Amino acid sequence: MHVPLRRLLPVPDGPITIDEAYAAPLGQRADRPWVAMCMVTSIDGSTVVDGVSAGLSSDNDSSVLLRLRSVADALIVGAGTARGEGYGAPRKRGQRIGVVTRSGSIDTTSELFQSGSGFIITTEQTEVDDDRVDVLRAGTDKVDLCAALEQLSDFCPGATFVQAEGGATLNAALADADIFDELNITTSPATIGGSGPRLFHGGGDHSHRYDLAQLVVDDESFLFSRWRRRAVQTSP
């Protein structure tokens, strides 16, 4: 059941709908598609309960995900998340879903790939049957996500907005490569503890700054934040 939302920032203006709060990405780029992350985390940063995100989510959070999917041209997701969350064919006509894997251990007979919507993003060396599924290859020892993004138009012509949906290992790799233009984060009103993955897991050190573009809260204390990557200042 959906519960009411109200916007706190940039202007406290009372009730707001999910469609209004997430009407469009926060920006666009001329050089490549705009890339946004959409994730739910606990207060202490966990992205899963018992291995999946459902225990952290709510009807409003699910609606945020679906709303952003409805305006995205393509989705990218890690192989483990696609498998664990049961990704199938997308609801949006013509939308494609890129599944990132270094090992190539993917069931290409699943609904996602049989529908023709799914494609694999992997390395030049990974053994994947290119005759059974579309394969975007970038990088040698590991997937070069920047190079993959440059090739994305070959698989998703005209794509201007790409949504990344985790898991935490893919998030970390995208952050390491400084690919995120926008972060859409739902904070679930709970702490989880344990050793489960946090928002970014297994990546290197980095320091990227973001500006808070919007903050919305609902009557169940779920907090919905939208963050825009701060422009990198260059010396004259």
- Start-to-end CA distance of the chain, whole Å, equals 53
Residue 172 has pLDDT above 70, yes or no: yes
Q: What is the pLDDT of residue 233?
A: 63
- Dist CA 107 CA 101 (whole Å): 12
CA distances from 219 to 8, 56, 160 (A): 13, 16, 34
What are the structural domains, with CATH classification, of the chain?
32-71+184-236 (no CATH), 74-159 (3.40.430.10)
User: pTM score, two decimals?
Assistant: 0.93
Distance separating alpha carbons of residues 193 and 34, to the nearest angstrom: 33
Chain centroid to CA 183 = 8
Q: Give the pLDDT confidence of 107-117 residue by residue, as tens digits.
A: 999 999 999 99
pLDDT level of residue 126 (50, 70, 90 thresholds): very high
Mean pLDDT of 179-187: 98
pLDDT (0 to 100) of residue 216: 97
Q: Is the peptide bond before 167 cis (omega within 30 degrees of 0)?
A: yes
pLDDT computed for residue 113 by the predictor: 96
* Amino acid identity for residue 183 in this structure: L
pLDDT given at position 179: 97
